[in-house]
Chain A
Amino acid sequence: MTKRALKSALRHGALALFTLATIYPIVQVVSISLRPGDRLYTTSLALIPEGASLDAYHAILFDKPFLLWMRNSLIVSVSVTIIGVALAATAGYAFARFRFPGRGAGMLAFLVTQMFPATMLLLPLFLLLRKIGLVDAMPGLIIAYVATALPFCVWTMKGYYESIPVELEEAAMVDGTTRVGAFTRVTLPLSAPALMITALFSFMTAWSEFMVARVIIQKLGLYTLPLGLESLAGTFQTEWANYSAGAILVCIPVVALFLALNRYLVSGLTLGGVKG
Chain B
Amino acid sequence: MGSFLRRYAQPYLFIAPAAVVMLLVVLYPFIYNFIIAFSNMSLYHLRNPEFVGLQHFRTIFTEPEIVSVFAKTVIWTVVNVAAHLFLGVGLAILLNQEVKGRGIFRALLILPWAMPQYITALTWRGMFNYQYGAVNLMLRALHLPAVPWQANEYWALAAPIIANIWLGFPFMMIIALGGLQSIPKELYEAAEIDGAGWWFRLRKITLPLLKPVLVPATVLGTIWTFNNLNVIWLVSHYGEPADKTHILVTYVYKAAFHYYRYGYAAAFSVVIFILLLSFVVYFLKATGEKGAAG
Interface residues of A (CB under 8 A from B): 8, 11-12, 14-15, 18-19, 22-26, 28-29, 32, 41-43, 45, 83, 86-88, 90-91, 93-95, 97-98, 100-101, 103, 106-128, 143-144, 146-147, 150, 154, 179, 204, 207-211, 214-215, 226, 229-230, 233-234, 238, 240, 243-244, 247, 250-251, 254-255, 258-259, 262, 265-266, 269-270, 273-276
Separation of A143 and B45 alpha carbons in the complex (Å): 27
Query: Is B36 touching A262 in the complex (CB atoms < 8 A)?
Result: no
Separation of A32 and B166 alpha carbons in the complex (Å): 20
Query: Is A86 touching B17 in the complex (CB atoms < 8 A)?
Result: yes
- B269 contacts across to A, CB distance below 8 A: 116-117, 119-120, 123
Question: Chain B interface: which size bin?
Answer: 35 or more
Given A121-B30, A274-B291, A274-B292 in contact, is the A240-B126 Cβ separation under 8 Å?
Answer: yes
Select which of B114, B127, B265 is within 8 A of A123 by beta carbon.
B265
Is chain B's interface secondary structure helix, strand, loop, or mixed overall?
helix
Given A100-B8, A106-B15 in contact, is the A22-B233 Cβ separation under 8 Å?
Answer: no
Query: Is B29 touching A124 in the complex (CB atoms < 8 A)?
Result: yes
- B29 contacts across to A, CB distance below 8 A: 120-121, 123-125, 128
Query: Is A229 touching B118 in the complex (CB atoms < 8 A)?
Result: yes
Closest to A232 in B: B122
Which chain B residues (176-235) contact chain A, with CB distance < 8 Å? 177-178, 213, 216, 220, 223, 227, 229-230, 233-234
Separation of A45 and B233 alpha carbons in the complex (Å): 27
Query: Is A43 touching B18 in the complex (CB atoms < 8 A)?
Result: no
- B109 contacts across to A, CB distance below 8 A: 18-19, 22
Given A211-B233, A251-B119 in contact, is the A120-B94 Cβ separation under 8 Å?
Answer: no
Separation of A84 and B90 alpha carbons in the complex (Å): 35
Query: Is B114 touching A143 in the complex (CB atoms < 8 A)?
Result: no
- A11 contacts across to B, CB distance below 8 A: 94, 97, 99
Interface residues of B (CB under 8 A from A): 8, 10-12, 14-15, 17-19, 21-22, 24-26, 28-30, 32-33, 36, 41, 46, 91, 94-95, 97-100, 105, 107-120, 122-127, 131-132, 134, 137-138, 141, 166, 174-175, 177-178, 213, 216, 220, 223, 227, 229-230, 233-234, 237, 248-249, 252-253, 256-257, 262, 265-266, 268-270, 272-273, 276-277, 280, 291-294
Query: Is A143 touching B25 in the complex (CB atoms < 8 A)?
Result: yes
Query: Is B22 touching A109 in the complex (CB atoms < 8 A)?
Result: yes
Given A98-B14, A146-B25 in contact, is the A26-B107 Cβ separation under 8 Å?
Answer: no
In the A-B complex, the 9 residue pairs with the smallest Cβ-Cβ separation, listed nearest first, are A208-B116, A91-B18, A98-B11, A120-B269, A94-B14, A258-B114, A124-B29, A147-B25, A124-B32
B259 smallest CB distance to A (angstroms):
12
